């Protein structure tokens, strides 16, 4: 959970870059991007695939808007949580090695105690900054609500109760329930080259999911998306069987691919 929050926080701090604004028709898919190596590219330029050193799969795609941007992204989230990604020939050849690494790795489940500790820390700091006192004693033995915590401040809403936690901080949303953790970030942004524009015609979005019900042994799925709200969106879909540690290592590389193509 801590790593998941670090990935989300990194996405929140991503700054835009300068240049001309346009909706791309074909992806720019470099042979390598940081720890990512390209393993396939479609002739039409609409998609390409990458793999990290530890076997994480990244599919970079141009996705048209159907309905509106949020509805389009919601569909992508549903598919990521239920459908295994396509396995390229190179990925299949490397699967034996990846499987060996996975067998030796200890898959870390979502740690609800870490969530509760993080919530308690934020709660304490927020209360101190606001000059308020919080009711209740979270360390009181025998109290059925000893794991409950709640903070409601301008732009900050945190609710934790046992193995459940809901965090809302600006565009960041985190929902944790037992082994399942969902992170969403959605931001309206200006397109590249439109820093002085009053209208925010673009978007950036991040999705992270860890849970026990992912298909084919995957431990972590997510995406980074960017582009004009009218589409098409550049979406980098990430799947890993090594939990969120893999996503943490390649997070910057994935965002660079999206920023290169998304125009935001």
Residue-level length of the chain: 264
Query: Cβ atoms within 10 A of the Cβ of 84, count?
Result: 14
- DSSP line for 52-110: ETT--EEEEEEE--SS-HHHHHHHHHHHHHHSPPP--HHHHHHHHHHHHHHHHS--PPP
Q: State the average pLDDT over residues 207-236.
A: 90
Per the prediction, the chain carries an average pLDDT of 77
The whole-number pLDDT of residue 222 equals: 94
Q: State the average pLDDT over residues 103-124.
A: 49
Q: Which residue has the tokens 């509106």?
A: 68
Confidence of residue 11 (pLDDT cuts 50, 70, 90): low
Confidence of residue 214 (pLDDT cuts 50, 70, 90): confident
Model confidence pTM above 0.75: no
Where do the domains of the chain lie?
A: 2-110+191-262, 111-178
SS percent in the chain: helix, strand, coil, step 5: 30, 30, 40
pLDDT at 183 over 50: yes
In the chain, % of residues over pLDDT 70: 66
Strands in 142-190 per DSSP E: 149-153, 156-161, 164-169, 172-177, 180-189
Q: State the average pLDDT over residues 182-195.
A: 92
pLDDT at 155 over 70: yes
The whole-number pLDDT of residue 128 equals: 59
Greater pLDDT, 163 or 88: 163
Closest CA to 261 of 229, 209, 226: 226
Q: Which residue has the tokens 């890993």?
A: 240
Q: State the average pLDDT over residues 84-91.
A: 52
Q: Taking a C-beta distance cutoff of 8 angstroms, is the pair 149, 160 a contact?
A: yes
The whole-number pLDDT of residue 153 equals: 79
d(CA 74, CA 69): 9
Greater pLDDT, 2 or 188: 188
Greater pLDDT, 211 or 99: 211
Name the least confident of 47-61, 121-135, 144-158, 244-258: 121-135
Torsion of the alpha carbons at 89, 219, 50 and 235, rounded to the nearest 10? 120
Confidence of residue 116 (pLDDT cuts 50, 70, 90): low
Name the least confident of 53-67, 145-159, 174-188: 145-159
pLDDT at 51 over 90: yes
The whole-number pLDDT of residue 249 equals: 83
Confidence of residue 4 (pLDDT cuts 50, 70, 90): low
């Amino acid at each position: 959970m801590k790593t998941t929050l670090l990935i989300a926080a990194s996405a929140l701090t991503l700054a835009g870059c300068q240049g001309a604004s346009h909706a791309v028709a074909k992806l720019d898919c470099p042979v390598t991007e940081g720890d990512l190596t390209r393993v396939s590219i479609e002739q039409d330029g609409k998609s390409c695939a990458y793999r990290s050193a530890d076997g994480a799969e990244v599919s970079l795609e141009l996705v048209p808007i159907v309905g509106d941007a949020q509805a389009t992204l919601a569909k992508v989230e549903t598919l990521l949580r239920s459908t295994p990604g396509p396995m390229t020939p190179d990925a299949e050849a490397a699967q034996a090695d990846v499987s060996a690494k996975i067998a030796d790795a200890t898959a870390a489940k979502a740690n609800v105690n870490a969530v509760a500790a993080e919530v308690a820390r934020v709660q304490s700091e927020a209360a101190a900054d606001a000059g308020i006192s919080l009711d209740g004693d979270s360390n009181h033995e025998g109290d059925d609500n000893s794991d409950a915590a709640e903070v409601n401040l301008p732009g900050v809403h945190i609710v934790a109760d046992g193995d459940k936690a809901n965090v809302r901080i600006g565009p960041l949303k985190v929902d944790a329930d037992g082994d399942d953790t969902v992170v969403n970030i959605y931001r309206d942004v200006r397109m590249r080259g439109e820093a002085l524009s009053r209208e925010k015609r673009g978007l950036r979005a991040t999705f992270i999911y860890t849970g026990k019900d992912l298909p084919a042994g995957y431990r972590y799925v997510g995406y980074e998306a960017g582009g004009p709200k009218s589409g098409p969106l550049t979406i980098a879909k990430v799947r890993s069987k090594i939990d969120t540690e893999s996503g943490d290592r390649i997070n910057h590389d994935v965002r660079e691919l999206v920023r290169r193509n998304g125009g935001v």
